[in-house]
Chains A and B, each alone.
Chain A
Amino acid sequence: MESVLKLLIVDDETRFLKTIARRLRLRGLDVSTASNGPDAIALARGREFDVALLDLKMPGMDGSQVHRALKEVDPLIETIILTGHGSLRGAVELSRLGAFGYLPKPYELDKLLDALAHAFAQRLRNMHAGQPEIVERIDGLGQVEDPLERLRQLATLDGGR
């Protein structure tokens, strides 16, 4: 099965990483994991990622620092930050940061997939900014309800996978 999404997850809870990665791989995502900032950046330099899922509170580099570093490597990467706060202020801060969005932890898998789909759509829009037909089709896919299905269809749009 071709990969639906190239995802990088960064979290210091290794058990959690292992399990979530496994679940997402079952659904056809290409998941790479790193338990700290430097490892994540090294991975990002090695290959391309569509979306990065970052835990905010980590020892060493925290989520926002990793976000900045990843954006330096690939400005078009979209990041979703996992936070325990869930406050409005936190959200405003994060969007000012330039992250795509945030998710509370723990989260429902459907909501995660939904967020990933939206983030991926945004990345594709940015990548194909000069190609209005593709952008139109991306927008059209917004109708699709099942996020996993949406991801699959978006993936097909992304030529040269």
Chain B
Amino acid sequence: MVAPSKLVPPSQRARYRSHYRELLRQTLVRQLVLYFLPLLLLAAFFNLQYWRFTEDSRRSHLSVIAEQQANTLDLFLRERLVNLGNLIDDQAFIAHCCSQEYLQSALSRLRQSSNTFVDLGVVDGQGRQVAYQGPVRFPSSVSYRRESWFRELMQGGGHWIITDVYLGFRGQPHFTLAVKRRRGDSVQILRAALSPEKLTEYINTIEGAREVQAAVVNGKGVYQVVTRRGGAPRSRSPFLPPRQPPRGYLDHPDARGSSQYAYAWLGGTPWVLVVRDTGAGRRAFAWMPSMVPLITFGFFTVMGVVILIRARQLVGKQLAAEQHEADLSGQLVQAAKLASVGELAAGIAHEINNPLAIIAEEVGLLKDMTDPELAADQEPLDLAEHLDAMHEAVFRCRDITRKLLIFVRQTEVKLEQWHPHKILDEVLDGMMGNELRISNVEVERDYHAGVLQMVTDRNQLVQVMVNLVKNAIDAMKGGGHLGVRTSHQDDHVVIVFTDTGCGMTAEQQEKVFMPFFTTKEPGKGTGLGLSVSLSIIKNFGGKMYVDSAPNEGSTFTIELPYEIK
């Protein structure tokens, strides 16, 4: 694709601009893919890794909290059980268990251990509360026989039980610790109500910096201890982690559909401590990953600008190179033209010498006639006849030089309407006429009547035809026959040159259009003619090809579109 130069018509300059855009686009895409893609992949990879890392970090943070706090809770509850156990095993209790005074002092002693103890009660094997010390006013005789904790304690093999948080007879949230002892045939149970407030405070402490939310949930998914922020106590919680493994982090939706929290089941009671991130906690960890895309984006923008600049540079360089190549190509065309002119010049010099010789002799004769020695008894000259002959010879010279000059002059490409037959005739009769005659080449024209005018640059087309005719003449040493036939198909003209010359081998046919390939002896041909002719025809949007066989002549065919595209 030839860039603008003097030899390219304006219509091709528009093509040049779109060519530039296309080239720029391609280069940009290539550069972007080359540079951006790996960076993008790398950035994505690192981002992912970082995210995973922070995730893991968060997860283990929560898991650690859950485990540690669950342990602490466990310990707390165990201590309270131990308190009760000590009391029920105390000899003094066994002796004075139903005494109000005793119970009162026992309760205050318990409360010294931990002020979660609210009250104290002694229950017999049938569930009747036989003694009570505490703030609650019970109805006369309260029976726990139907209470599930009583039944479980009585039926189970264990000696103690911890209940869930419930309202019970008193109508206030509390949970019960109870220990059971056999006294001979009967069973004695010491129960104590504990206030969940302490636990709630405890949960609050865990929640401390508001990074996490914690709650204690029972085996059925009901909140036991929960902060106001987290939910309503004794309501259904969205959490119900699996029993196995007893400690862990939940990544996927559980039975309730919630996901992503750390949990740890307590050892003593079927309670689980659930810890999860609050939004604030997430945000604290999340600031980095959100910075990274921003930084990456900024970086990519800078890179994008750099790439754009570079792409333009590259395209500019490439276009300069193409321009240079086009210039060289233009120079080559001109050089080929001049070289073929050099070849023509020999023939033309010969041509000019004839009329010059005529003039020389006519002048010489006139001078002779004025020489008395020579002109002695000669008939007088018909002056007019000799002067006419000179005149005619002069104009012959002029025509010859003119046709050479026209051929040589480097003109701008001018696309005009020409009839191919007219151009052919000009070449066959005018420029190459004499040479054809002298070389004994018989020319036979077979013009198709339907061939129309075409849009072309006359000078370049003439250059091609002169080249083909000259080659034909050179192939037919001693003379021959040159057939020139035209025809047309749809939108193009077909011109065929057939000679009866020495022909070409298959190998020569392959190379014949290549620059600097010639079958002539050194100094007799540049080898540029056909390659330049081919590039001219191609520029016109046409085709040129050859068919030949050794000693059977050659046929060169040119196909040219009527309109140059």
Does B associate with A? yes
A residues apposed to B, CB below 8 Å: 13, 15-16, 19-20, 22-23, 26-27, 57-60, 62, 84-85, 104-107, 109
Name the residue of chain A whose CB is nearest to the CB of B369.
A26
Asked whether, in the complex, the Cβ of A13 is within 8 Å of the Cβ of B368, the reply is no
For chain B, residues 353 to 400, give those with C-beta under 8 angstroms from any C-beta of chain A. 353-354, 356-362, 364-365, 368, 374-375, 378, 386, 389, 393
Query: How far is the CB of A102 from the nearest CB of chain B, in Å?
Result: 13
> Could you tell me the distance in whole angstroms from the C-beta of A17 to the nearest C-beta in chain B?
9
How far in angstroms is the closest Cβ of chain B from A156? 20
Q: Are B365 and A22 in contact (CB under 8 A)?
A: yes
Whether the pair B365, A59 counts as a contact (CB closer than 8 A) is no
Given A84-B349, A84-B353, A105-B353, also A60-B440 (CB < 8 A): yes
Q: Is B96 an interface residue (CB 8 A)?
A: no
Question: Contacts A13-B354, A106-B356 hold; do A26 and B361 have CB atoms under 8 A apart?
Answer: no
Do residues A105 and B361 form an inter-chain contact, with CB atoms below 8 A?
no
> Is the Cβ of A106 less than 8 Å from the Cβ of B375?
no
The answer to whether B365 touches A19, judged by C-beta atoms less than 8 angstroms apart, is yes
**Contact status A23-B350, CB under 8 Å:** no
Instruction: Note all chain B residues with C-beta closer than 8 A to A58.
Output: 438
State which of A23, A84, A104 has its C-beta within 8 Å of the C-beta of B364.
Answer: A23
Q: Please, which residues of chain A bring their CB within 8 A of the CB of B353?
A: 84, 104-106
Complex Cα distance A106/B351, Å? Answer: 11
Q: How many inter-chain residue pairs (CB < 8 Å) link A and B?
A: 57
Would you call B374 and A20 a contact (CB within 8 A)? no
Closest beta carbon of chain A to B501's beta carbon, Å:
17
* A16 close to B354 (CB less than 8 A): yes
Given contacts A57-B438, A59-B437, A106-B360, contact A23 B354 (CB under 8 A): no
Closest to B378 in A: A26
Cβ contact of B358, chosen from A19, A60, A84, cutoff 8 A: A19
On B, residues with C-beta under 8 Å from A are: 346, 349-350, 353-354, 356-362, 364-365, 368, 374-375, 378, 386, 389, 393, 437-438, 440
Shortest distance in angstroms between B205's beta carbon and chain A's nearest beta carbon? Answer: 117
A106 touches B440 (CB 8 A): no
For A60, the closest partner residue in chain B by CB is: B440
Interface pair B389/A23, CB less than 8 Å apart: no
CA distance A22 to B353 in the complex (A): 20
Complex interface: chain B residues within 8 A of A59 (CB): 437-438, 440
Complex alpha-carbon distance, A20 and B386, angstroms: 12
CB < 8 Å: which of B357, B362, B375, B378 contacts A13? Answer: B357
Q: What are 24 A-B interface contacts by the 8 Å CB criterion?
A: A15-B358, A15-B393, A16-B354, A16-B358, A19-B358, A19-B362, A22-B365, A23-B365, A26-B374, A27-B374, A59-B440, A60-B440, A62-B438, A84-B346, A84-B350, A84-B353, A104-B353, A105-B353, A105-B356, A105-B357, A106-B356, A106-B357, A107-B357, A109-B364
B77 to chain A, nearest CB (A): 125
Kindly list chain B residues whose C-beta atoms are within 8 Å of the C-beta of A19. Answer: 358, 361-362, 364-365, 386, 389
How many angstroms from the CA of A19 to the CA of B438 in the assembled complex?
Answer: 22
Q: How far is the CA of A16 from the CA of B361 in the complex (A)?
A: 7
Decide if B346 touches A15 in the complex (CB within 8 Å).
Answer: no
Assembled-state Cα–Cα distance A27/B373 (Å) = 9
**Set of chain A residues within 8 Å of B359, measured between Cβ atoms:** 106
A26 to B357 alpha-carbon distance, docked (Å): 18
Residues of B within 8 A of A13 (CB): 354, 357-358
Closest to B350 in A: A84
- Which residues of B sit under 8 angstroms from A22, Cβ to Cβ? 365
**Cβ-neighbour of A16 out of B349, B357, B378, B440 (below 8 A):** B357
